[in-house]
Amino acid sequence: MSGTDFLFGLKDQSYDAAVSLIPVPWEATASYGKGAGSGPEAVRAASVQVDLADLQFGSVWKSGLTWRPTAETIRNWDRQAADDAHRVIENDGIQGNPELAEAVSRVDALGGQVAGLVEEHAKQAFASGQIPAVLGGDHSSPLGLIRASARRHPGLGILHIDAHADLRLAYLGFAGSHASIMRNVLAIEEVGRLVGVGYRDIGDEEGDLLRTGAPRLVPFFDQLLASRMANGDRWTDICAEIVDALPEQVHLSMDIDGLDPSLCPATGTPVPGGLGFHQLGLLLETLSRRRRVVSFDLCEVVPGVPIAGKADGWDAIVGARVLYKLIGCAVRSQEGWLERGGAKVGSVWL
């Protein structure tokens, strides 16, 4: 993709870029609301309305952005998986049916191909001195990115902002489900710690794991965050506590449903509660000052109802601004890391 139809009205800056975005229009295992596969294109379309002098992170676009050519391949794999996935989801799982079990295997295999392609592009981005980032797609989309990031940065911390813990061993039979992404992340031995923020829809299996998973699992449940603030705790202090639970190198994984659903009503599994936009911004600002964000993802953005005849609706408009904040957080965190004794490599702080 080239010209001013890239992102934020900018030209693709190819290899002279701090951030390399990997679009992953994959939503095969989405089990309730659909549409996340259209998220990357919707966010791209809405991004031209984003003014680029961010009041927290500045004109981060000047660090350079590029867009990797993965979308069409992944879109084709998603189409191949669609019929199999639909039959399993409509049946509410395998239910002992061998044909449905085979369908699950085919979908998981295609999901493995997605993860492999994303991992290769992430490795290329790291080798080019760039910060790789996935724009999904459902939340299974960034597995390959996280795998590449953890292997490059052993002991990697995961900051996971989400309404759901995504810790199921499998969901409806799919081991590669969006509801299993963090369970699969924990299977990566180089991942040091997972810090979850905003969890408010938890299954029994996940609750058991969260209760017994310390110190590798550190949840900040949405209800407890709300109770603490109602009793006088400052959000800035809570942000510092969240960030202090993380190792030095961090992958930031953002499911848009981690926000209040008034900001993302079309997302596949909205849940009451969640972070406000400014709360998210303050958390990202704290992260950028105290830790080094080496990779990130934004998932589960669904375009939403069109506004003023434009295809990109409210959810995409919010998603584009969240994406710019994530880019700003990652880029500024590299500079903060330099101030704390890191080294500069190439044209970006790494």
The CATH number of residue 146's host domain is 3.40.800.10
What whole-number distance in Å separates Cα of residue 76 and Cα of residue 348? 34
* Confidence grade of residue 173 (pLDDT, cut at 50, 70, 90): confident
Least confident of 5-14, 31-40, 316-325, 339-348: 339-348
Element of type H or E holding 238: helix 235-244
> What is the C-alpha to C-alpha distance for residues 131 and 216, in angstroms, rounded to an integer?
25
Q: Which long-range contacts (CB under 8 A, 24 or more apart) does 212-218 make?
A: 213/186, 216/186, 216/192, 217/186, 217/193, 218/193, 218/194, 218/245
pLDDT surpassing 60 at residue 1: no
- The predicted pLDDT at position 31 comes to 80
User: Could you give the dihedral angle defined by the CA atoms of residues 253, 258, 263 and 269, in that order, rounded to the nearest 10 degrees?
Assistant: 110
Cα separation of 89 and 291, whole Å?
A: 40
Q: What is the pLDDT of residue 348?
A: 34
Average pLDDT (19-32) is 92
pLDDT at 233 over 90: yes
Q: What percentage of residues in the chain have a pLDDT greater than 70?
A: 93
Give the number of domains in the chain.
1
Highest mean pLDDT (candidates 7-11, 166-170, 171-175, 255-259): 255-259
CA distance 285 to 333: 9
Name the residue range of residue 285's domain. 3-349
Place 14 in a pLDDT band, splitting at 50, 70 and 90.
Answer: confident
pLDDT at 268 over 60: yes
With 50 as the cut, is the pLDDT of residue 350 above it? no
